[in-house]
Amino acid sequence: MAVFRSEETLVGLIALAAVPWIIWILVRALRDGRLPIGKGEVLSERPAAFRILFALYAVAAGAMGFIGFDLLLGMTGR
């Protein structure tokens, strides 16, 4: 199956658009002391769970940024 450059550009833009949203969640978590997970949330009263979920969100933001830039700039070209 052939992948066209326009498809890579679209997916890259969508991935990059998700990064500010994830960062906004992280900033709000630091301010309010709660992180969303599904329909529930993890409160900072459970520090281990809060830190692990915070780290997973941060890794997700980094991965989405890398994927977006990779698709837009073709860093790991074929």
Domain ranges of the chain: 8-73
Residue 67: pLDDT above 80? yes
Residue 75: pLDDT above 80? no
* CA distances in angstroms from 5 to 10, 18, 35, 63, 68, listed in the order given: 9, 20, 36, 21, 13
Which tens digit of pLDDT belongs to each residue from 3-52? 567 888 898 999 999 999 999 999 999 999 999 998 999 998 999 999 99
Please tell me the predicted confidence (pLDDT) of residue 73: 87
Please tell me the predicted confidence (pLDDT) of residue 3: 59
67, amino acid identity: I
Instruction: Specify the 3-state DSSP secondary structure of 46.
Output: coil
Rg of the chain taking only CA atoms, in angstroms: 16
Beta bridge partners of 34: 43
